[in-house]
């Protein structure tokens, strides 16, 4: 697997709220992925998308987002926990694509102002990931008490998250390579 195109692993920032601490977590994950050889990444901020809300699914598909999902070998979804769940606009954005996700790896990064680090949002997101056709990895990154993890400028205050992100990325990259090989080389019998 040495002469193939780099893995594409975008990070989706799944909130549009002002003052969102999740942005620090998303930028941290982008920086950690960017250190990896053979991997390209970018931040996809749903607050910058011009997605219509007067329809759903293919009816609101944004061509640029769809193209990024087609190129992606894996996704990292950074989502805050709002009232024990994930933001509705994140679900709306993800639902605008379907076939683009099939047999691709996904990892969830939960963010919370409280001590549980988004564990409840991750738990609630797993059935959605599966229904979209994505394959969730078994490691997560949980940013609990996020205002103590990053300062107001987004600087990391707890270096322990570097090792957590590394473990998460090792699994995600392995799964992305494995699933890409399968998509490219193994026919799915109907």
In a domain, 171, yes or no: yes
In a domain, 1, yes or no: no
Q: pLDDT of 109-160, one tens digit each?
A: 999 988 877 888 999 999 999 999 999 999 999 999 999 999 999 999 999 9
* Helical (H) or strand (E) element with 30: helix 22-34
The length of the chain, given as a count of residues: 190
Q: What is the pLDDT of residue 190?
A: 54
Query: What share of the chain has pLDDT > 90, as a percent?
Result: 81
Q: What is the pLDDT of residue 1?
A: 47
In a domain, 2, yes or no: no
Residue-range definition of the domain harbouring residue 39: 7-185
* Rounded Cα distance, 175 and 77, in Å: 15
CATH number reported for the structural domain that contains residue 159 in this entry:
3.40.50.360
In a domain, 22, yes or no: yes
Average pLDDT (62-67) is 96
Q: In the structure encoding, which two tokens stand for residue 149, read together?
A: 């993890």
In a domain, 46, yes or no: yes
Q: Count of domains in the chain?
A: 1
* Rounded Cα distance, 95 and 89, in Å: 10
CA nearest to 40, candidates 66, 7, 79: 7
In a domain, 150, yes or no: yes
Q: In the structure encoding, which two tokens stand for residue 136, read together?
A: 């969730």
Q: In Å, how far are 36, 154, 189 from 30, measured between CA atoms?
A: 10, 13, 36
In a domain, 114, yes or no: yes
Residue, of 188 and 5, whose pLDDT is higher? 5
Q: Which residue has the tokens 């590394």?
A: 166
Residue, of 115 and 76, whose pLDDT is higher? 76
In a domain, 40, yes or no: yes
Q: pLDDT of 40-54, one tens digit each?
A: 999 999 999 988 888
């Amino acid at each position: 697997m040495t002469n193939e195109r780099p893995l594409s692993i975008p990070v989706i920032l799944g909130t549009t709220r002002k003052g969102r601490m999740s942005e620090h977590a998303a930028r941290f994950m982008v920086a950690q992925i960017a250190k990896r050889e053979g991997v390209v990444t970018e931040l996809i901020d749903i607050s910058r998308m011009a997605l219509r809300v007067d329809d759903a699914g293919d009816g609101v598909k944004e061509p640029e987002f769809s193209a990024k999902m087609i190129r992606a070998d894996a996704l990292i979804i950074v989502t805050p926990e709002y009232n024990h769940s994930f933001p509705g606009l994140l679900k709306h954005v993800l639902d605008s694509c379907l076939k683009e996700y099939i047999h691709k790896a996904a990892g969830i990064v939960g963010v919370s102002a409280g001590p549980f680090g988004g564990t409840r949002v991750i738990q609630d997101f797993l059935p959605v990931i599966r229904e979209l056709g994505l394959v969730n990895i078994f490691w997560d990154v949980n940013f609990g008490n996020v205002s103590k993890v990053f300062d107001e400028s987004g600087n990391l205050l707890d270096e322990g998250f570097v090792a957590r992100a590394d473990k998460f990325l090792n699994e995600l990259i392995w799964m992305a390579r494995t699933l890409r090989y399968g998509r490219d080389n193994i026919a799915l019998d109907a």
